[in-house]
Amino acid sequence: MRHFFYLHAQSARSALIKILRQPFGSLLNLLMLSVALALPLSLFLAVASLQDWAGRLTATPQITLYMEQSAEAADISAVNTTLHKHPEVQSFVFISKGQALKEMETKNGLQGLSDGLGGNPLPDAFVVTPTTLDPHELDMLQKELSGLPMVESAQFDASWAKRLFALISLGHQLTWFLAGVLGAALVLVTHNTIRMQILARRDEIEVTKLIGAPDSFIRRPFMYHALWQGLVAALIAWGLTCWLALAANPAISEFARLYNEQVSLRMLRPTELAAFIAGSALLAMIGARMAADHHLRRVGPR
């Protein structure tokens, strides 16, 4: 077991030394990888920032529940409790028919309207602010709420929420598309670097294999090389996006201020950063593994 760890530590160390020994060649490679990583990462941050901003908008879509005219206090309090317990309801206000009438009269200068109508034609209403922005979920919520007892209808204006959501989901799709394509590029670039290294160390591989080294022993140094490459490239890419955010944020806030909004590109959260670095290292190791296996198949017994 100790030997196992020793071998791993040894491979990790010598792979790092190998990278540091050719700073120029390694740097070019690392920069290429980190640019490939920085592109989807920046887009991800842009979309995430947009989403954060959208979540903070005061004008979130609201659903208005109109009660039946015949609804009584007990029905209203039943709806009230349901809304209280509902996980997708962020907040709600109750507007009684009397309140609504009074508001209408004062706002529109129609004092004595109810007298003229011979009663209050307005229903009791709840104005519900949902937790979600997803148009599909909003639809579901609307349907559900309109099905509550003694609720006549539930209405909301979905069109702008749909538009915003579509924009964000387009951004997401673009991010994942870029991440997929450039992730594949990462795999291919490491595959190529490791292949070159394998060719440079062909004799060593042949001899170690001949005297009984298992494939894992031969693969190990290359896997570590790729691991370092993936880690460092991810860190450089992260640095690039931080720099982008710092450079662009003043202009973005200035622009947003014109619309009385507060928007800025956010940085990666620690968990996101960890996932990003791990993903990059993993992709690099996949590339290395492919290159190593390809070569090992060729030097196997005939």
Q: What is the rounded CA–CA span in Å between residue 179 and residue 43?
A: 9
Ranges of beta strands (E only) in 135-294 are: 151-156
238: left (phi over 0), alpha (psi -120 to 50) or beta: alpha
Site string for another protein, 217-246 (x = CB under 8 A): x-----------------------------
Exactly one of 209, 235, 244, 248 binds another protein (CB under 8 A); that residue is: 209
Nearer to another protein by Cβ, of 10 and 60: the residue is 10
Does residue 213 belong to the site contacting another protein (CB under 8 A)? yes
| Cα–Cα dist 195/191, whole Å | 6
Burial class (CB in 10 A: 0-12, 13-18, 19+), 113: middle
3-state secondary structure of 148: coil
Q: Is 273 in the site for another protein (CB under 8 A)?
A: no
Rg, Å, the chain Cα set: 31
Q: Which stretch binds another protein (CB under 8 A): 4-12, 98-106, 225-233, 256-264?
A: 4-12
The single residue among 17, 210, 251, 258 that binds another protein, judged by CB under 8 A, is 210
Contacting residue, 52, 139, 206, 261, with another protein by CB under 8 A: 206
Distances (CA, A) of 240 to 39, 231, 237, 245, 280: 9, 14, 5, 9, 15
- Which range touches another protein (CB under 8 A), out of 117-125, 177-185, 201-209, 224-232? 201-209
Using rule CB under 8 A, residue 24 touches another protein: no
* Minimum separation from the CB atom of position 205 to another protein (A): 10
Residue 44: other Cβ atoms inside 10 A: 21
Does 203 engage in binding with another protein (CB under 8 A)?
yes
Instruction: For residue 85, state whether it binds another protein (rule: CB under 8 A).
Output: no
- Is residue 290 at the binding interface for another protein, with CB under 8 A as the rule? no
The two tokens of residue 258 are 């014109």
Contact between 21 and another protein per CB under 8 A = no
- Report the residue number, 45 or 218, with the smaller CB distance to another protein: 218
Signed CA dihedral, 82, 88, 91, 94: sign only? negative
Q: Map residues 161-200 to x or -, x wherever contact with another protein holds by CB under 8 A.
A: ----------------------------------------
Cα–Cα dist 246/253, whole Å: 11
Q: Is 6 in the site for another protein (CB under 8 A)?
A: yes
Chain contacts with another protein (rule: CB under 8 A):
2-4, 6-7, 203-204, 206-215, 217, 296-297, 300-302
